[in-house]
Amino acid sequence: MLSRRTFLGTSALACLGGGVYGFGVEPLSLAVESVTVPVRGLDEALDGFKIVALSDFHLYPFTELPFIQRAIDTARGLNPDLVVLVGDFVDATAEAILELAPAFSSLNARQGVMAVLGNHDVGKGPALVTRALKGAGVEVLVNRAVEIGVGQAYLRVAGVDSLQGRQDLGSALRGGKDGVPTVLLAHEPDIADLVAQHGRVDLQISGHSHGGQVRLPVFESLSLPRWGRKYAFGRYQVGDMVVYTGRGIGTTGVPIRIGSVPEVSEIRLVRA
């Protein structure tokens, strides 16, 4: 049996080890999560269309540019058809976007790079964040959609503003050709219940929750943010659509990740 002193010593060492891991190892790790989403009515020309999603960069104070650059390089290496950036570019100040946005210029997706803003962007300076992203060639979708042509086929990519901003799902999903498969970018995943009611979206891509960021069993529910609790990470079926919530790249609040490795999401659309 462990003596009280040995038990306390072992516990202290375990806490220290956990702290070192959560502070210095996991936040600088990176996982590629691959998911295949069957889409009804997907044209043959779009079969296998690859979307790479990145979210929750939170540049400064805890997450730094070299780590984000690694995630961007990983996205490049996946040879994407489209890259989507799902919000929360900045954290403490909007000015960080002036350093971050140019890094997106190196993305090589055949159909370009598209983005929505997150609650932190909306809170710190949406105009500056939007301007910098556009300056780097990123298409920012605030309550609107674009249709991209691949061969004879079309894919609609819609974006809705953060729930902390001027969310207007109706405008985001209005108009366009009938029967065109639709991907919605929405920073906060829990908007999915509302989205599913529209019946026009095949796939919603979200971030925001950081997968809980610090996922200790006892505190799991406490670590999830508002609007990111129900569809917190991974894949969900909500009505007729699929929701995919990535764990994001950076950290916010505390510079720690435990049980929620930063993620680059590789999403392949296939014919249902």
List CB contacts of 230: < 8 A, sequence separation 6 or more: 189, 190, 192, 193
**Per rule CB under 5 A, is residue 121 in the interface with Fe ion?**
no
Q: Rounded to whole angstroms, how far apart are CA atoms 252 and 102? A: 22
Q: Minimum distance from CB of 123 to Fe ion (Å)? A: 9
> Considering the rule CB under 5 A, would residue 164 count as an interface residue with Fe ion?
no
Contact flag: residue 124 with Fe ion (CB under 5 A): no
Site string for Fe ion, 3-42 (x = CB under 5 A): ----------------------------------------
Establish if 119 lies at the interface with Fe ion (CB under 5 A): yes
Within 8 A by CB and 6+ apart from 208, the residues are 55, 56, 86, 87, 88, 118, 119, 187, 188, 189, 225, 227, 228, 245, 248
User: Quick one: which segment of 72-80, 178-186, 204-212, 240-248 binds Fe ion (CB under 5 A)?
Assistant: 204-212
**Pick from 188, 220, 217, 218: nearest CA to 204:** 188
Burial of 170 (0-12, 13-18, 19+ CB in 10 A): exposed
Where do we find the tokens 């490795």?
A: 261
Number of residues that bind Fe ion (CB under 5 A): 4
Closest contact distance (angstroms) between CB of 175 and Fe ion is 28
Q: How far is the CB of 252 from Fe ion (least distance, A)?
A: 8
CB 130 to Fe ion: min, Å: 16
88 makes contact with Fe ion (CB under 5 A): yes
Asked if 91 interacts with Fe ion (CB under 5 A), we say no
Does residue 143 touch Fe ion according to CB under 5 A? no
Does residue 118 bind Fe ion (CB under 5 A)?
yes
Under the binding rule (CB under 5 A), the answer on residue 208 touching Fe ion is: yes
Nearest to 241, CA basis, from 208, 209, 197, 175:
197
Q: Are 163 and 195 in contact (CB under 8 A)?
A: no
Q: ∠172-128-78 over CA atoms, to 5°?
A: 65
Residue nearest to Fe ion (CB): 208
The residues that touch Fe ion, with contacts defined as CB under 5 A, are: 88, 118-119, 208
